[in-house]
Structure 1
Amino acid sequence: MEHYIKASEINVPCLPPFPAELTTGTKEMIVKENTKFKNILTFVDKLFEDTNCRLVIFKGVGEATAKCISCVEVFKRNYKGGVLYQWNKIVFTRRTDSWLPMVESLSKILVHVDVPTVYILISKDPFPDDCINESSQDSSSEARFTFDNEAMSNGLGSPQEKPKLLRTLGVNKWNRPLKKNCRIQKQQLLSKDKS
């Protein structure tokens, strides 16, 4: 591709893969790779302050899918207005890249790329029963997992439940070597402790 230069990039528009009765008139937030969380989150917070706004769609294409998911998780964590309901869909959208040759003997190239796209529908209201599937969830439910006939929640619990690490004064060969300043200070502390 060293003899070609990218001329254009055309994204084929894709409608949200949710039922039309849910998404008509719903605001779609397009999260890009360079989108600032603060801008999106303040805008969606203002949207959800309006009692008439019940739904919002987050969309991330290609490299921005991970950022879109993170943005939704931060929004759900910061939302104080009650329970939120979430529905996820992943689809592939088509992008066409046009490459022009820099050498006259070569011809123009069109490259069709299927790009992953994530759609996340956030709602203040529960979804209809016919729409609920394995990708639907709400922010109030806590997942529980079973392991060796014991149930445990998805979290580590409070910090008091964590075991304390035992620190020994002996040399541990797996520790990172101390910096020169720290080494001198530690030697001084050890000499004070011995006396």
Structure 2
Amino acid sequence: MENYSKAKAVEQPCPSPFPDLPPTTPEVRVRDGSKIRNLMRYALSRMEPKPRVAEDEEKGQSRTDEGDVVAMETREVTGRSLTTEKSLSRNILFTATGKGVSKAITCVEIMKRRVKGLHQHTKLLYSTVDEVWEPLEPTAGLDSLTVSRNVPAIWILLSRDPVDSSLPGYQAPGNFDALWAHSAKEEAGAFGGQRHGQNKRKRGGGGSSGSSRGKGGSGRHTGRPKEPFKSQS
């Protein structure tokens, strides 16, 4: 492919693995260049009664990254974009492909910490991306190439309503905090045991040093030979 350059990449639409969701369910599409601050601003506005208002919303302007947020519906109240309790959604969907998968997972974890009691259902699949490659020299007689690649994709559903726990990829509310608490407890125990071992070794070294000093007599040695005592006549 040294004689070609990539002209464009087109991601093929992927069917939703959650066909039973209401059509009004908000969807947050996370890309590699998306800003988590903008993504969470919209997501929290659909799940929290009183989301935080950004500086641009203070001026009555609501902005989002291109392609990040789908079907945004807000209500302007006294120059601010606030969501009423009646318009809160019961579900929210996070989707990402390729390098945006890790950022989507970060957004989901932030959402679960801010909004308690959310059931999580995760689906992993592949999405098809068609890449068009053009020859570097059009006069060389080379044709354009179209390469199809399968990239990993993730779909994460967060719901206030209970989800079938027998489905693969289900995570109950509160598992995140319990996991971190257990990990922190294990790390604290391992760190405490390590310090105990270090203190024990220090005590042992001090005892041997003290016993050698007691047998030798003087604790300090200057390294200079002792001069004979000269009597004064």
Question: Shift of the alpha carbon at 1:21?
Answer: 2.3
Q: Which residue of 2 aligns with 1:47?
A: 46
- Supply the RMSD in Å over aligned alpha carbons: 2.9
Find 2:126's aligned residue among 92, 95, 106.
Answer: 92
Question: Shift of the alpha carbon at 1:157?
Answer: 2.7
Sort the Cα spacing of 1:141 and 1:56 in 2 relative to 1 into closer, same or farther, 3 A: same
Question: Shift of the alpha carbon at 1:159?
Answer: 8.3
Q: Which residue of 2 aligns with 1:156?
A: 184
Question: Shift of the alpha carbon at 1:144?
Answer: 8.6
1:31-46 matches, cutoff 5 A: 31-46=30-45
Q: Secondary structure at the match of 1:73?
A: helix
CA distance in 2, matches of 1:67, 1:160: 29
Task: Describe the superposition over 1:12-68 as per-residue Cα deviations: whole angstroms up to 9, x where unpaired.
Answer: 1113211x2224221110111122211111211111124541011001110111111
Q: Structure 1: which amino acid aligns with 2:185?
A: G
Sort the Cα spacing of 1:132 and 1:2 in 2 relative to 1 into closer, same or farther, 3 A: same
Question: Shift of the alpha carbon at 1:163?
Answer: 1.1
CA distance in 2, matches of 1:143, 1:67: 20
CA distance in 1, matches of 2:143, 2:187: 64
Sort the Cα spacing of 1:71 and 1:142 in 2 relative to 1 into closer, same or farther, 3 A: closer
Sort the Cα spacing of 1:121 and 1:33 in 2 relative to 1 into closer, same or farther, 3 A: same
Find 1:101's aligned residue among 115, 135, 149.
Answer: 135
Q: Contact 1:57–1:122 at 8 Å: present in 2 too?
A: yes
Q: Contact 1:62–1:115 at 8 Å: present in 2 too?
A: yes
Sort the Cα spacing of 1:120 and 1:105 in 2 relative to 1 into closer, same or farther, 3 A: same
Q: Structure 1: which amino acid aligns with 2:10?
A: I
Give the gaps of 5 or more residues in structure 2: 49-84, 203-233
Q: Which residue of 1 aligns with 2:150?
A: 114
Give the gaps of 5 or more residues in structure 1: 146-152, 171-195
Q: Which residue of 2 aligns with 1:76?
A: 112
**Percent of residue pairs bearing the same amino acid type:** 27
Q: Contact 1:31–1:58 at 8 Å: present in 2 too?
A: yes
Runs (4+) of structure 1 moved beyond 3 Å? 141-145, 158-162, 166-170
Q: Which residue of 1 aligns with 2:14?
A: 14
CA distance in 2, matches of 1:9, 1:21: 30
Q: Which residue of 2 aligns with 1:64?
A: 100
More helix by percentage: 2
Q: Structure 1: which amino acid aligns with 2:120?
A: Q
CA distance in 2, matches of 1:78, 1:137: 16
Q: Contact 1:59–1:119 at 8 Å: present in 2 too?
A: yes
Find 2:170's aligned residue among 133, 136, 161.
Answer: 136
Q: Secondary structure at the match of 2:146?
A: strand
Question: Shift of the alpha carbon at 1:154?
Answer: 3.6
Task: Describe the superposition over 1:110-133 as per-residue Cα deviations: whole angstroms up to 9, x where unpaired.
Answer: 100011110000011112x4x741
Q: Contact 1:41–1:75 at 8 Å: present in 2 too?
A: yes
Q: Contact 1:142–1:154 at 8 Å: present in 2 too?
A: no
Q: Secondary structure at the match of 1:9?
A: strand
Q: Work out the number of aligned pairs and report it.
A: 158
Q: Structure 2: which amino acid aligns with 1:113?
A: R
Sort the Cα spacing of 1:68 and 1:3 in 2 relative to 1 into closer, same or farther, 3 A: same
Q: Which residue of 2 aligns with 1:30?
A: 29
